[in-house]
Amino acid sequence: MAAKPRLLVTRNFPPNVMARLRRDYAAITNDEDRILEPAEVLALSQDVDAILCAGTEKFSREVIEALPENIRIIATYSVGYDHLDAAAAAEKGITLSNTPDVLTDATADIALLCLLGAARMAHSSAQTLRSGQWSSWAANQFLGVHVTGKRLGILGMGRIGQAVARRAMGFNMQIHYHNRRPVDVPGLEAAIYHKTTDSLLGVCDFLSINCGLSAKTKYLINDENIAKMPDNAVIVNTARGGIIEDAALIRALKSGKIAAAGLDVFENEPHLNPDYLDLDTLFVLPHIGSATVETRDAMGNMCLDNLDAFFADRPLISEIKT
C-alpha cells in the first residue's frame, strides 16, 4: 500500500472534515486551534507534502520562499486568497486551491442580515431591550432606514454579488452594480450596469461590497468615495475588511452622512476599531458569512477533494491561477 500523503493542517476544522483528512492523510493537526505564527508553520512544514490552511495564516512572499521544497500544494479553506502570495507560490512551483461556490448562499444570506440589521437599528434596539432600558413603545424610537424599493448598489457581481441581488429583489430593490464586465445571467436582466465605481456610488441608497481585496480595492471606500454617495446611505461589507477605510466610515457614521453600516468583516480582525463601539448605527458580526454546518463541511470537503485530485494527478476542482 502506498504511503499516505503528509499534510499539515493549520486549524481545527469541522469534525466531519477532520475525520476524513485523518483517514486519508498522514496529518499533523493543530488540536488547540491556535493561530500559528509563520515560524511555526515553517517548522511544521519540514516533513509534509501539503498544507491545508485558513485565512488566518499569512503566506507572504517571505514565508512562501522559506517553505521547504517538499511542499507541493497549499489548499486554503476560503474563497479569498489575499493571505497567500500567489505569484510567489507560482514561482516556487506550489499549487494553490480555494473553495469557491460552496459558501455563496450562506454569505449572501449574511449580507442581507447585515443590510437589514443596519437599516433597522437591530443592534441598538436589541441592546436597549437586553439591558432593561426599554420601557415602552414610542413613535420616534429606533427609527431606521426603509429597505423595500430602494436602490441597492453591488460592488462586485460575481457569484456572491449575484446571490445578494436575487435576495434583494425580494424586497423590490432596484439593482445597480459595478463589475469588470456586465453579467448576463437569468433573473438579473433588469440589473443596471455601471462602468465605473463613481457612477455606481452616486445611486447607492444601499451599497453591498462583494468584490475581492486587491491593490485596486484596498481602501476603496474612503472619505472621497463616501462623499459621492447619497446622504443617509447604508454600507454593507461581507467581502474583505480592507476594502473599507475604518476611519473614513467612522467619520461618515458620526456625521450622519452614512446612516448605518452592517459589517461581517473589518480591518485588523479580530480587533474591531474601538471607535466603532460608540456608534449605535453599526451592526457588526464576527466574520460568520460561511458559518453554517453545511457550508463549513462543504468548504473542507472541497479542500480535500482538491488535495485528493492533486495527489492522484487529476485536475483540481478549484485551482488558483495567477
Positive/negative CA dihedral, 59, 238, 262, 135: negative
Query: Rounded to 5 degrees, what angle do the CA atoms 184, 190, 194 make?
Result: 75
Question: Burial, 303: exposed, middle or buried (Cβ in 10 Å; 0-12, 13-18, 19+)?
Answer: buried
Is 287 an annotated catalytic residue? yes
What is the C-alpha to C-alpha distance for residues 109 and 288, in angstroms, rounded to an integer? 10
Beta partners for 7? 27, 50
Go through the domains of the chain in sequence order and give each one's CATH number.
6-102+293-311 (3.40.50.720), 104-284 (3.40.50.720)
DSSP 212: P
Question: Can you give the length of the chain in residues?
Answer: 322
Q: What cell does 79 get?
A: 474563497
Among 83, 166, 287, 319, the active-site one is: 287
Residue with cell 454617495: 229
Among 176, 240, 245, 267, the active-site one is: 240
What residues of the chain score a pLDDT lower than 50? none
Residue with cell 505564527: 37
Residue with cell 462623499: 227
Contacting residues for 319 by C-beta, under 8 A, at least 6 apart:
95, 96, 97, 306
In the chain, the amino acid numbered 12 is: N
What is the C-alpha to C-alpha distance for residues 235 and 248, in angstroms, rounded to an integer? 12
Q: Containing H/E element for 301?
A: helix 293-311
Q: What cell does 49 get?
A: 507534502
Output the pLDDT for position 298: 98
Residue with cell 436597549: 128
Coil/strand/helix, residue 123: helix
What is the C-alpha to C-alpha distance for residues 6 and 45, in angstroms, rounded to an integer? 10
Among 11, 83, 269, 319, the active-site one is: 269
Q: Are 249 and 274 in contact (CB under 8 A)?
A: no
Output the pLDDT for position 1: 58
What is the C-alpha to C-alpha distance for residues 233 and 256, in angstroms, rounded to an integer? 9
Q: What cell does 317 get?
A: 476542482
What is the C-alpha to C-alpha distance for residues 146 and 149, in angstroms, rounded to an integer? 8
Is 240 an annotated catalytic residue? yes
Question: Burial, 80: exposed, middle or buried (Cβ in 10 Å; 0-12, 13-18, 19+)?
Answer: middle
Whether the link from the prior residue into 270 is cis, omega within 30° of 0, is: yes
Is 319 an annotated catalytic residue? no
